[in-house]
Amino acid sequence: MPTITYVQPDGTRREVEAPVGSTVMLAAVRNNVRGIDAECGGALACATCHVYVDPAWMDRIPPAGEDEADMLEGVAGERRETSRLSCQINVDAALDGLVVEIPAEQG
C-alpha cells in the first residue's frame, strides 16, 4: 500500500498507509492526522483540506482542475505554488512516498 507522509506546521511527521483509490484527504482523516478538516468529505465544496505538496512531487501529480485552482485562491491558510486540495489528489501506486505539509490554518 502506498505510504504518505504528513508534516505538521510544527515539523512533526506522520506516515500513513493509503489504499489505492482513496485520496490524500481520506487517508489523513481516517487515520487521525490533525489539521485536515475536510468538512465536505471530498465534494470540492469547502477548501478545508488544503495541503502543500513537497516540491519534489509537484510534477508527479496531475495538476489542479479549474474549480480546484479557483478554490485555492480562497483558502484560509497561506497560498503557495505548491498548494493543493488534498481531496482532489487520488492515491495510486506512483504516489508511494509522497510528502505533504499541512498549513497552519484551515477554514
Chosen residue from 4, 25, 36, 47 binding other proteins by CB under 8 A: 47
38 touches ligand FES (CB under 6 A): yes
Looking only at residues 3 through 22 of this chain, which bind other proteins when binding is defined by CB under 8 A? 21-22
Chosen residue from 7, 16, 44, 76 binding ligand FES by CB under 6 A: 44
25 touches ligand FES (CB under 6 A): yes
H or E element: which one contains 25? helix 24-30
H or E element: which one contains 13? strand 13-17
70 touches other proteins (CB under 8 A): yes
Quickly tell me which residue has 485562491 as its cell: 73
Coil, strand or helix: which one is 31? coil
